[in-house]
Amino acid sequence: MTNPAVRAPAVAGAFYPGDAITLAADVRSLLADAPRGTEQRPPKALIAPHAGYIYSGSTAADAYARLAPWRDAIRRVVLLGPTHRVPVRGLAASSAEFFATPLGQVRLDRAALEALADLPQVVVSDPVHAWEHSLEVHLPFLQTVLGDFSLLPLAVGHATPEEVAEVIDRLWGGPETLFVVSSDLSHYLAYASARQTDRATCERILQLDPAIDPHQACGAYPINGLLLAARRHGLQPEMIHLCNSGDTAGDKERVVGYAAFAFYGQEGKENV
């Protein structure tokens, strides 16, 4: 019997290990191999991929390793990712109280969702979340690198940069709040073409250009909203890693691109 208050894992055993012991060991190993970076301030936002861990787990770990020094400072994560199965106009929240993985349950921030209640682009739709992997695959990393934190997962369908940025602005908070955007890059190009396309996309992200196309990044809609908000708040992006499935566990005929970015506040104005 299912518990409607808990969104159960949908892709455990497929995108990542379904056994808690194996999953914990795999995530710790990926994080141990990731560079820590040199920034002396916490990132306000990350962009990280959402493919199976054998393909993109190392790239995601490169982003999440940046959170290690701030384990107890980050208390709320706003997680935005694209929809792959159920289309939606705007941003879909969940009515669940917890999101679960084999590592345990993460409490949802109901107060944060209530703060968005007057925004017409935000809806509540459990069917959108039920089988969506773009948010779920990030949770084991967050459960490993952070201490006690609450989660606001938002599945982003067709939405303008302004609509997404308005949500981000509303939830901005201080250094206790982290935004994570889930996105892969190009899909199913040949290796050389993907490298060229993905480098161009990454350059636009570094320029905070909120005009990324869904063919360039499957999470284009949440990325564009983040980039617009980053402009407003003076965030500075850093590209941490770029590769594709041909570099990890796939062939080079049809690859998927992956990148990791961190966004930092201005010196003296961290995350405000």
Does residue 202 register a pLDDT over 70?
yes
* Residue 250 pLDDT > 80: yes
**Whole-number Å distance between alpha carbons of 144 and 128:** 26
Domain edges within the chain: 42-264
C-alpha to C-alpha distances, 212 to 120, 202, 204, 205, 237, nearest whole angstrom: 23, 10, 7, 8, 15
pLDDT value of position 268: 54
Residue 218 is predicted with a pLDDT of 98
- pLDDT tens digits, residue range 154-199? 999 999 999 999 999 999 999 999 999 999 999 999 999 999 999 9
Q: Phi-psi bin for 234: left (phi > 0), alpha (psi -120 to 50), beta?
A: left
- Contact at 8 Å (CB) between 92 and 124? yes
Q: Is the pLDDT of residue 31 over 80?
A: yes
Residue 138: pLDDT band by 50, 70, 90 thresholds? very high
Q: From start to end of 113-230, where are the E strands? A: 122-124, 150-156, 177-182, 187-189
For residue 122, pLDDT beyond 70: yes
- State residue 271's pLDDT score: 53
Residue 153 and residue 129 in contact, taking contact as beta carbons nearer than 8 Å: yes
- C-alpha to C-alpha distance for 220 and 226, rounded to whole angstroms: 10
Find out whether 176 and 73 touch, Cβ atoms under 8 Å: yes
Q: What is the pLDDT of residue 269?
A: 56
Q: What is the CATH number of domain 42-264?
A: 3.40.830.10
43-75 pLDDT, tens digit each: 999 999 999 999 999 999 999 999 999 999 999
pLDDT of residue 2: 60
Question: The tokens 């905070």 sit on which residue?
Answer: 208
Tokens encoding 269: 């104005």
Query: What pLDDT is attached to residue 4?
Result: 78
Separation CA 208–CA 235 (nearest Å): 9
Cα–Cα distance between 75 and 41 in angstroms, integer? 15
- In the prediction, which pLDDT does 178 show? 98
Task: Let me know how long the chain is.
Answer: 272
Non-local CB neighbours of 144 within 8 Å, separated by 6+ positions: 24, 27, 28, 31, 64, 103
Q: What is the mean pLDDT of residues 110-125?
A: 97
